[in-house]
């Protein structure tokens, strides 16, 4: 999977404002529920973990990308590149922010939800977002070229058969004025609302709320935020 290449180009995608807005919404929910001791699943480079710590909330992060976790650890964040099934502690709340569940294919989603359920304290919360169909079809699809002094990035994303395939190419200038080329793809999976609701309930969660969230567009919700409680 192209998660490590994504980690190298993420900073150039100019998503800072959107990321900040989504993180603020999650922080608001955590304050509202008075939650401490969080595991951030798919923590990326640790931006949300830093918001939590700045507000005195304890957090541990995990991500499948070794490169992302190296960045977290360089900021002295408590984070490991492990799968949720290998987490040994339990937490008051798990978060999975910015499409993390869309990276998980349908065949693995039930295991992921069951493993997340296992690492929560009784009455623990699982709060996450997923892309809506509108988000995939109207927002995520398309092409983008980024031309920087020492980098050239080409991104091409196509949504077909309920999957978004994003091809990424990164050319990086070397000291000798030649370029190295890296190429990889990421696949994200659309999970329909009813399918997700049924699966979450069957994995031992009560869905308290599903929030329609307009992150990239005023037109229609491009994300759902799920607030689920372990039962």
Ligand X SMILES: C[S@@+](CC[C@H](N)C(=O)[O-])C[C@H]1O[C@@H](n2cnc3c(N)ncnc32)[C@H](O)[C@@H]1O
CB 27 within 8 A of CB 36: no
Place of tokens 């509202």: 32
Return the residue nearest ligand X (CB atom).
44
Considering the complex, state which of residue 55 and residue 179 has its C-beta at the smaller distance from ligand X: 55
Considering the complex, state which of residue 10 and residue 173 has its C-beta at the smaller distance from ligand X: 10
Crossing angle between the packed helical segments 106-118 and 193-202, to the nearest 10 degrees? 40
CB of 73 vs ligand X, minimal distance in Å: 14
Considering the complex, state which of residue 92 and residue 101 has its C-beta at the smaller distance from ligand X: 101
CB of 65 vs ligand X, minimal distance in Å: 4
CB 2 within 8 A of CB 186: yes
CB of 176 vs ligand X, minimal distance in Å: 31
Considering the complex, state which of residue 44 and residue 124 has its C-beta at the smaller distance from ligand X: 44
Considering the complex, state which of residue 84 and residue 92 has its C-beta at the smaller distance from ligand X: 84
CB of 99 vs ligand X, minimal distance in Å: 5
Q: Which positions touch ligand X (CB under 6 A)?
A: 3, 19, 41-44, 47-48, 62-65, 68, 84, 97-100, 103-104
Q: Hey, what are 57's tokens?
A: 């909330």
CA–CA distances in Å: residue 69 to residues 29, 92, 168, 218: 25, 22, 21, 33
Q: Give the separation between CA 64 and CA 44, rounded to whole angstroms.
A: 9
Q: Give the separation between CA 167 and CA 154, rounded to whole angstroms.
A: 8
CB 38 within 8 A of CB 95: yes
Listed residue (133, 115, 94, 104) closest to 228, CA to CA: 94
CB of 97 vs ligand X, minimal distance in Å: 4
């Amino acid at each position: 999977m192209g998660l490590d290449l994504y980690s190298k180009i993420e900073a150039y995608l100019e998503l800072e404002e959107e990321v900040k807005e989504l993180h603020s919404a999650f922080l608001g929910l955590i304050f509202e529920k008075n939650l401490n001791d969080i595991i951030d699943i798919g923590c990326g480079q640790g931006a949300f973990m830093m918001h939590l710590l700045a507000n005195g909330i304890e957090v541990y992060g995990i991500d499948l990308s070794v490169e992302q976790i190296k960045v977290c650890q360089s900021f002295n964040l408590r984070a490991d590149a492990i799968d949720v099934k290998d987490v040994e502690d339990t937490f008051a709340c798990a978060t999975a922010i910015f499409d993390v569940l869309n990276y998980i294919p349908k065949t693995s989603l039930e295991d992921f939800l069951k493993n997340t359920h296992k690492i929560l304290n009784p009455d623990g919360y699982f709060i996450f977002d997923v892309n809506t169909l509108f988000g995939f079809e109207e927002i995520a699809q398309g092409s983008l070229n980024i031309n920087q002094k020492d980098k050239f990035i080409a991104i091409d994303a196509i949504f077909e058969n309920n999957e978004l395939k994003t091809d990424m190419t990164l050319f990086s200038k070397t000291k000798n004025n030649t370029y190295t080329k890296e190429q990889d793809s990421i696949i994200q999976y659309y999970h329909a609302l009813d399918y997700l609701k049924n699966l979450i309930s069957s994995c031992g969660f009560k869905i308290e709320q599903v929030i329609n969230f307009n992150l990239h567009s005023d037109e229609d919700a491009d994300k759902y935020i799920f607030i689920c409680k372990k039962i």
